[in-house]
Structure 1
Amino acid sequence: MSASGTERVTIVVSRHREAVALVAAETAGVEISVLCLAEDDREGRATLDRALKEAGRRGCQVGGAPRTVGAQESGSTAGLLRELRALRPHRVRLQDPDPVHIGYDAERDVPVYDVDPEHAAAALTALSAVRDHQLESGTPVHVTCHRADADEQLGTASGLRYPQTTHWLTEGFDGRLSAFLPSAAGVVRWTQSEPGGAAWRGPELLPGPRLMPGLRVVRDLHGFPHLFALRRTPLKDGGDDIAIVRATQYGTGRPLTPWHSLGSPNPGNRYRSRAIGFPAAAFDATGGLVVFARNFGHGVSYRQQGADGAWTPWQHLRGVRVADELVTVTTGRGEAELFARARDSAAVVRWYRTGPDGTWTEDRAVPFAPRPGSMAAGPEPGTLVFRDLRTNEPCLWWPGATAPVPLGGADGAGPVTGARGVEVDGWAYSLLIRSGSGGACAVGAHAEGRADAGVWWNELGGESVLVPAAVRDRTGLVTLATFTAGAQLAISHRESLSSGFDFGRWHTV
């Protein structure tokens, strides 16, 4: 937590009325400030004033009246940067810099949107200012970008432009752990000083290009973490191009490789390339890598790299149109599979194949409907964990199961992840980790392969503003990690290698 125990959240929008939904999403205990890049009419200002008063009644602290910065017309970030210096936010909420199109005007050759273009302009201006503020202050600032059409009843995760980062704590080739998280200015990293030790170094801002505020962390067969993100660059004829980029850490604590571009399913077009979804990736048993992304037409495209290092071109998977929620799993046979939430229904679609050269098969018979923003790969091979759309209860499913297995623990929000192979009195257990009530970290466990036998949940405190993470290292030690309201990494270790699920106190890095 910060010294005051309060998380400072700054909401930056185009006009006052656009902040209402984002203010409504904040929970008790946070300090809210609102910055607007242009003046609104009387009704818009009054609507926001009412939302802020309601936030105060439910326990938020309101840091004064909304302020108009005036950067919308000038394009300058100087005034916004001055405000950020004074507010020193831990987290910033923005509008969607790349809204989803609802149609296409063939005559003009442009997409059709149902949101004002100033939303995206405001988000890009604000993101630039927040990046500069983080570089100046040296403190990580977490940024979330929110779609205008999100269902407020389903929580903020349902409308995130970039998915929440899961599995961000990982063991390296030498047994030391690394934590990677996205921030306004790029990827930040914390590094464990010795295997199993309590000392860590960080946060360290890793060099690289200007990235959008999202991150995917995938570990290969040798234990090396690979990072996937989106990079935005200007086009010569105006507009921007967005490409998927990848960097790898081959030595714990050492510099990353350069960020290599994997291109885009819709490259070079100022409208189409901006619409790319956030990538998902997985390694298979041969060491091959497959990368998926939602394309401009709301289908799925993919590229794959063979064990010999050669890449295929982007290819398209025909089938159901999908939303911005793609999750990969690797089965017990070492085959990569993809799950995607449908765009026009509550369904989930699965793509699978036999072998790295097999033909992808679309499976529309997945028997569950997840809460948007809640799907994640489970701790056991081939499993998927999600929150039920109606009940919010975490559930587990694997191909071939007739129905998902409820896991209990319907409080909290966001994805559920975990680690397998946790030994207790000679038996192997799967450990689950999630946010609980009020954002506190909750840990559960079940006999490996027997989630239907029941999960025992225990709240450990350690409130996290991001999805908590867990790793079982090669010695059997289980380490938990959270990211506090004060932008610090917090760590807790399991007290025994072979009995119980007791964890030590949290300590911040």
Structure 2
Amino acid sequence: MKAPAGNGRVAVVAECAADAALLVAAEAAAGPEIAVICLRDDGEEGRAALDRALADASARGCEVSGRPRILDEPGITGIVKELRALQPLRIRVPDPDPTHTGWDTDRNCPVHDEPPGRAAAALLALDAARVLQRESATPVLVDCRRTEAATPQLPATSCPRYPAVTGWLTEGFDGRATAFLPSAAGVLRWTQPRPHGADWDGPELLPGPRLMPGLRVVRDLSGFAHLFALRRTARTDGGENVEIVHAAQYRSGHPLSPWHSLGSPNPGDAYKSRETGFPAAGFDAAGGVVVFARNFGHSVSYREQRPESAWTPWRHLSGLRVADELVTVTTPKGDVQLFARLRDTPGVVRWHRPGYDAAWTEDRAVPFAPRPGSLAAGPEPGTVVFRDLRTNEPCVWQSGAHAPVPLGAAEGEAPVTGVPGVRVDGWDYSLLVRSGAGGSCEIGAFAEGRPDAGVWWNGLAGEAAHGVPAVLRDRTGRVTVATLTEGAKLAVSHRESHAEGFTFGSWYSA
């Protein structure tokens, strides 16, 4: 699959101009060229709202590509026609599976506080994006945004439907690195043809029928990469289910295992399964894996598999209602913990257990409130990193600590991730990576176990990042930072020394 030569154009696809205005407002960063496609004309009021949103985007530094386009052909055909003309790198659409606000007992169906045409338009746009990517053989990235109320302190458009992909750069069992990222038509993969080399093959489109545009990449104890995603399947009654699926890469550059369905926390119900939350997964010290997801009732469900055993059925954890933002961490003792952002109030709840056979305990005393979409596993075992809801400053928290530790550098929006064990002059450091202002890639470092001693942040000049940059410390101690550029190319930079300083070499396109 080739990378486009475009300039990072964003196509906003919505049912009407009023919906498009909400999605345009979500493009906070300066730089991208925005084009708008509406499935229908909703009149003067909707057009005026969109004009205001586009004017605000232009004032932020975005370029507006002509007047909004109204489809002259209905359905997927019309959307594909407009997308062919625009050739966007990114497509922004509403949430295809919005969460319910109540239940209609008379009709026996959920109640939503947004029009049904909004989700229907998103599904049409997703199908059209798949068509465009397959026929053009160029990556198309999709961003689904919630448009219902989310957190009182933030606009609704600040909440993505699918989490930003973190940890997408991983080392295989044979020492070769692989990068995985989601796209409209499936998972994109880049692979090193030889260990620790400078060359990369890709992007390659991996098979995965009707995968939704999100991805979770988890490495097991043996170094194998495991992928978790959501897949849409047709029902015999004409509806659709959304199910959690899992595949694994056992040899770098070779085909994935088949996508295996883990089902849904709410199986058998077309309404409830469509609201299945995005999965989070973690491996414990014994090699067992636990998969969590937010269920229809806004609590947490999980399945797990012990080594050489079958998957358990879905089980439910009662407790506080959570948002669709779950993160797992593995503690220094090798136990898996779950962190979930709360749905109804700012804050986080933690689930933990002392060993596989023990009961899960809900901890409601976690002392921080993250900005939606910013929660991620920290660089050291048992830690999480997040952006503070009030200040946007990245912070790290260790289970049992009285308060989180601020890390400085409040610019940017995406999660912050990192790796431990980076050796400098005989001392071990944790290395952080984040997307800064304007999409720049920045690295930070602190003495391992001592984030309170201060973090040094430095920008890596030369490439603007799309999404969350990734960092990998391989078994030789080599540190690699990777990002996806606006041209949908993988850009890679290596630390110049294995033992001295935090200087990185020039970016090169893989």
Q: TM-score, normalised by structure 2?
A: 0.97
* One-letter amino acid matched to 2:481: L
Structure 1 unaligned residues grouped into runs of 5+ = none
CA contact (8 A) 1:375 1:384 kept: yes
1:116 lines up with 2:115 in the alignment: yes
- The 5 A counterparts of 1:92-107 are 92-107=91-106
Structure 1 residues 412-468: Cα deviation after superposition (integer angstroms, max 9, x where no partner): 111110111100011111000011111101100011111111100001132111100
Deviation at 1:259, TM superposition (A): 0.1
3-state SS in 1 of match to 2:481: strand
Per-residue deviation, 1:152: 9.8
Q: Which segment drifts farther, 207-216 or 242-251?
A: 207-216
- Corresponding residue for 1:59? 61
- The residue number in structure 2 matching 1:265 is 265
Pairing of 1:64-83 with structure 2 (within 5 A): 64-70=66-72, 74=74, 76-83=75-82
1:14 corresponding residue in structure 2: 15
Residue 310 of structure 1 and its aligned partner are, at CA, apart by 1.6
Report the alpha carbon displacement of residue 154 of structure 1 after superposing the two structures with TM: 4.2
In 2, Cα distance between equivalents of 1:19 and 1:444: 37
Match of 1:429 in 2: 429
Deviation digits for residues 14-38 of structure 1, max 9, x if unmatched?
0011111221232321111000011
Asked whether 1:506 is paired with 2:507, we answer yes
SS at 2:332's partner residue? Answer: coil
- 1:300 corresponds in structure 2 to 300
Q: 1:114 to 1:155 in 2, by over 3 A?
A: closer
Matches of 1:460 and 1:95 in 2, distance apart? Answer: 33
Moved more, 149-158 or 9-18: 149-158
The 8 Å contact of residues 158 and 371 in structure 1, kept in 2 or not, is answered as no
CA distance in 1, matches of 2:476, 2:32: 39
- In 2, are the aligned partners of 1:157 and 1:374 still within 8 Å (CA)? no
1:450-469 alignment to 2 at 5 Å? 450-461=450-461, 462-469=463-470
Q: Is the 8 A contact 2:446 2:454 kept in 1?
A: yes
For the 8 Å contact 2:284–2:336, the answer to whether it is kept is: yes
Q: Which residue of 1 aligns with 2:251?
A: 251
CA contact (8 A) 1:186 1:208 kept: yes
| Identical amino acids, percent of aligned pairs | 65
Change (3 A) 1:60 1:2: farther
The offset of 1:107, in angstroms, is 2.0
Cα distance, 1:291–1:70 mapped onto 2, change above 3 Å: farther
Would you say the 8 A contact 1:9–1:92 is kept in 2?
yes
Taking the aligned partners of 1:487 and 1:35, their CA distance within structure 2 comes to 22
State how far apart, in whole Å, the 2-side matches of 1:237 and 1:8 are. Answer: 39
Q: Is the 8 A contact 1:2 1:485 kept in 2?
A: no
Q: Which moved more, 1:155-164 or 1:53-62?
A: 155-164
CA contact (8 A) 1:36 1:70 kept: no
Q: Which residue does 2:86 correspond to in 1? A: 87
Distance, in Å, in 2 between the alignment partners of 1:41 and 1:161 is: 28
Structure-2 change in CA distance of 1:294 and 1:134 (3 Å): same
User: How far apart, CA to CA, are the structure 2 residues paired with 1:280 and 1:217?
Assistant: 9
Check conservation: 1:25, 1:152, Cα contact below 8 A: no
1:338 Cα offset (Å): 0.1
TM-score by length of 1: 0.97
Q: Which moved further from structure 2: 176-185 or 21-30? A: 21-30
Aligned runs of 1:145-184 on 2, under 5 Å? 145-149=144-148, 150=150, 154=154, 158-184=158-184
Correspondence 1:470 to 2:471:
yes
Q: Helix, strand or coil for the counterpart of 2:190? A: strand
| Distance in 2 (alpha carbons) for counterparts of 1:153 and 1:394 | 17
CA distance in 1 between counterparts of 2:53 and 2:455 reads 39
What is residue 390 of structure 2 aligned with on the other side?
Answer: 390
CA deviation profile, 1:206-245 (whole Å, cap 9, x unmatched) = 0122101000000000000000000101111121111100
Choose 193-202 or 359-368, whichever is displaced more: 193-202
C-alpha deviation, 1:46, in angstroms = 1.8
Contact 2:22 2:157 in 1 (8 A): no
Which position in structure 1 is the counterpart of 2:37? 35
Structure 1 residue 54 displacement after superposition: 2.7
1:494 matched residue in structure 2: 495
Query: Structure 1 residues 156, 110: closer, same or farther in 2, change over 3 A?
Result: closer
Task: Give the CA deviation at 1:58.
Answer: 2.7
Superposition map of 1:275-354 within 5 A? 275-354=275-354
Q: Secondary structure at the match of 1:499?
A: coil
**1:191 paired residue number:** 191
RMSD, aligned CA: 1.4
Distance 1:414 1:103 in 2: 31
Q: How much has 1:70 moved relative to structure 2?
A: 4.9
Unpaired segments ≥5 residues, structure 2 = none
Q: Distance in 2 between matches of 1:102 and 1:291?
A: 26
Q: Secondary structure at the match of 2:130?
A: helix
